[in-house]
Amino acid sequence: MNNTVFVTGAAGFIGSAVARHLLAEHDDTVVNIDCLTYAGNRATIENELNHARYVFEQVDIRDRAALDRLFAQYQPRAIMHLAAESHVDRSIDGPRDFIDTNIIGTYNLLEAARQYYLGLDENDQSRFRFHHVSTDEVFGSLGDEGLFTEDSPYEPSSPYSASKAASDHLVRAWFETYGLPVVLSNCSNNYGPYQYPEKLLPVIISKVLRGEAIPVYGSGKNVRDWLYVDDHARALVCIMNTGRKGRSYNVGGNEERNNLEVVEAVCAILDELRPSADGKPHLELIKHVADRPGHDHRYAIDASRIRDELGWEPQESFDSGMRKTVEWYLDHQDWVSRVLEGSYDGGRLGTATGKTS
Ligand code: DAU
């Protein structure tokens, strides 16, 4: 067994941050397993491709034979599974890819990992970990009070969160039934560099830069807990290396904001760094649009388990992380154009207009 870690989905937003963190702070060789969907891009991994400890394998996790080949070839000590369809609005428009990738893909990976694990000697088996990276959305929606803990019941609302809940259950079953050494984590809303421009943060920035309306779904009072992506990447590597087998860990930024507050914060930074030509505050671009169907009211994470047991805490505050993120997008508009090429025109997604897949 080698000092090699598989990271699935490492041409995407969080996966690429994990790979960069492993290369910068650890000795492992990183094998990025990514099939490059619309959200996974070469433009995101350009700096890593020439790194001596980085390998890119363009493989789809739905392809079991290809996964078996990768396990045999690289003999990894761990797998961090982040490859997923992740956008709630797209899951409303077309759930099929979410079922295929998030559920069947995870099943394939579990079986490929189990076959590999069964062939390891006792020492290597004790080192091996399968880390499944999931979301707080599996717990459904909170009212105005309370926090998600690792023991919160699963109550997913969207096709996306239902598919992630299903994959969490599969991973747990492979631990209980087959003894595959797994760890799980459920995170809150990530933001930071390289996030595909369909999510709230980059949508706000793109709309402001084009002088277009900023679409706020419904009242804008929905609350999310914002976590800077590099803090999350650090948490994930910590969980993979030191988390207890069979256990799950909630990861959050402890920075709850409603969507209007997020829009206000980003607009205030852009008023300073990119004032509008007519001097009007960017906030005037807000436009309330039809709500997302099944829109969860509030997510908030109790991250005390990972803090108390593994010693992880977020380092970035909402204000410092937002500023870094806005500055990054202003400096990387070429990246935005490249990843959007032909795949997303910035239009509204996820309105459930009655079309089925
Ligand atoms: O909580 C973790 C989850 O966070 C992850 O599991 C998902 O993969 C990730 O996409 C994210 O889900 P959200 O649905 O919370 O993220 P999104 O950026 O789509 O939306 C954030 C909030 O902003 C949500 O309340 C919907 C709202 N929104 C979003 C967009 C794109 C708007 O008001 N306008 C928009 O244009």
pTM: 0.97
Confidence of residue 350 (pLDDT cuts 50, 70, 90): confident
pLDDT value, residue 357: 66
220: CA distance to ligand 1 center in Å? 11
Query: How would residue 345 be classed by pLDDT, with cut points 50, 70 and 90?
Result: confident
Q: Is 136 a catalytic residue?
A: yes
Q: Please list every protein residue whose CB sits less than 6 Å from any atom of ligand 1.
A: 86-88, 135-137, 188-189, 199-200, 203, 215-217, 222, 224, 259, 292, 299
Tell me: pLDDT of 1 over 90. Answer: no
Ligand 1 atom closest to Cα of 216? 33
137 carries an active-site annotation: yes
pLDDT value at residue 37: 93
Q: Compute the distance between CA of residue 224 and CA of residue 240 in angstroms, rounded to an integer.
A: 25
Residue 354 Cα distances to 52, 293, 344, 348, angstroms = 49, 12, 21, 15
Which tops the pLDDT comparison, 357 or 46?
46
pLDDT tens digits along 280-315:
999 999 999 999 999 999 999 999 999 999 999 999
- What's the Cα-to-Cα distance from 10 to each of 56, 78, 80, rounded to whole Å? 9, 14, 10
How high does pLDDT run on average in the chain? 96
Position 292 scores a pLDDT of 96
Residue of 57, 85, 136, 296 with catalytic role: 136
Comparing CA positions, the residue from 280, 279, 223, 278 lying closest to residue 253 is 223
The residue whose CA is least distant from atom 8 of ligand 1 is 86
Residue 341 is predicted with a pLDDT of: 85
